[in-house]
């Protein structure tokens, strides 16, 4: 495919001016690389035990675009184990853009196929906000890709495991919850999933807290937004989070930073698989690859210390194109 833009979509983002020549940075080995002979360009994905890198640019010259990501966070998808071909890919993210680079080869199944040169393939696909912007196929004979070990072993050595259902990696140190927090309850003749009321707070700020108890955090300001009853909302804007008040009571807490988290450890930056591990399972009516989860409060037993009406609060977990939590919101839904 061709993409008609004045600037190549393969170079959008942070353009790196460097005197370094193409290839892997010193101390790194190649996961995959190839050339695009019709464009006179090449791509390299390299790694060591700490960092994975992406570079794209003219053949033999300095890269037009260079990206790096830690081994723990790099989005590597291993071979599924099925099909006639073996192939794997890595995706690097840069603001709204994602660069998916893959390599592989066709497996020979007959004596005749074994006598023929190995058929290799590779690609680079660029998306903008999840929509494909451009795609290139590698010149087959230039593809380098070695199956086995490599990035997979580096991820495992970093304490991660691959989850096929969510197609994400799970870090053991990110999911140290003793008991899954997602619960199932029945009310009004229907079963539904819910979260305990104890989860509806971040960093000591809880849903339903009075403004008077939070004055040390700052002063809320009026907004043009309205509450569930169409009355004005006041908002306290903090670093990494917004807290909304209605009648001087907290009705929404919205976090965009991993520095704000629920008591269970749910926070921005976790992968879908890590969220599901903390929850204990995929919430009802969703899949392991859903773009968001909305889970309501569990109804409280009569006489409970903290009375929460049925469906009073919801937790909204939103995932970005990198398959990680991009925003975490506790909210009071419309009545």
Provide DSSP, 178-208. SS---EEEEETTEEEEEE-GGGSEETTEETT
Helix (H) or strand (E) holding 301: none
Cβ-based burial of 137 (10 A; exposed 0-12, middle 13-18, buried ≥19): middle
In whole angstroms, what is the distance from residue 137 CA to residue 124 CA?
7
Per-residue pLDDT, 17: 34
Q: Are 63 and 16 within 8 A, CB to CB?
A: yes
Residue 106 tokens, joined = 């066709």
Torsion of Cα atoms, 146 then 150 then 155 then 159, to 10°: 140
Structural contact between residues 147 and 33, judged by C-beta atoms closer than 8 angstroms: no
Secondary structure (3-state) at 102 = strand
Of residues 135, 96, 121, the one with CA closest to residue 10: 135
* Average pLDDT, 10 consecutive residues per value, the chain (335 residues): 42 42 86 96 96 96 96 95 88 97 80 69 95 96 86 95 97 76 84 93 95 89 76 91 93 96 96 96 96 92 47 90 97 79
Q: Are 208 and 250 in contact (CB under 8 A)?
A: yes
Residue 329, number of CB atoms within 10 A of its CB:
20
Q: pTM for this one?
A: 0.86
Tokens of 41: 């360009």
Query: Is residue 114 helix, strand or coil?
Result: helix
How confident is the model at residue 15, as a pLDDT?
38
Burial of 299 (0-12, 13-18, 19+ CB in 10 A): buried
Hey, is 86 helix, strand or coil?
A: strand
**pLDDT for the residue numbered 59:** 95
- What is the pLDDT, as a whole number, of residue 13? 44
């Amino acid at each position: 495919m061709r993409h008609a833009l004045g600037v190549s979509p393969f170079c959008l983002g942070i353009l790196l001016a460097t005197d370094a020549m193409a290839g892997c940075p010193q101390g790194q080995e190649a996961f995959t690389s190839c050339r695009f002979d019709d464009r006179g360009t090449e791509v390299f994905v390299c790694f060591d035990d700490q960092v994975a890198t992406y570079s794209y640019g003219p053949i033999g010259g300095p890269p037009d675009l260079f990206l790096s990501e830690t081994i723990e966070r790099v989005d590597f998808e291993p071979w599924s184990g099925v099909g006639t071909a073996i192939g794997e890919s890595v995706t690097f993210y840069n603001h709204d853009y994602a660069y998916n680079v893959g390599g592989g080869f066709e497996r020979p199944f007959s004596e005749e196929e074994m006598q023929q040169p190995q058929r290799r393939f590779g690609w680079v696909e660029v998306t903008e906000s999840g929509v494909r912007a451009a795609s290139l196929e590698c010149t087959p004979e230039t593809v380098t890709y070695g199956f086995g070990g490599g990035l997979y072993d580096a991820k495992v050595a970093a304490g991660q495991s691959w989850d096929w259902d969510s197609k994400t990696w799970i870090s053991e140190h990110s999911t140290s919850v003793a008991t899954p927090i997602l619960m199932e309850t029945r009310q009004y003749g229907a079963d539904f999933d819910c979260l305990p009321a104890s989860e509806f707070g971040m960093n000591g700020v809880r849903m339903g807290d009075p403004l008077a108890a939070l004055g040390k955090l700052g002063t809320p300001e009026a907004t043009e937004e309205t509450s569930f009853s169409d009355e004005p909302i006041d908002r306290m804007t903090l670093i990494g989070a917004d807290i909304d008040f209605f009648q001087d009571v907290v009705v929404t807490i919205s976090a965009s930073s991993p520095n704000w988290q629920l008591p269970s450890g749910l926070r921005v930056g976790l992968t879908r698989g890590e969220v599901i591990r903390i929850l204990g399972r995929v919430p009802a009516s969703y899949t392991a690859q859903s773009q968001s989860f909305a889970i309501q409060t569990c109804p409280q037993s009569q006489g409970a210390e903290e009375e929460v009406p049925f469906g009073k609060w919801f937790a909204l977990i939103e995932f970005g194109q990198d398959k990680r939590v991009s925003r975490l919101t506790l909210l009071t839904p419309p009545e």
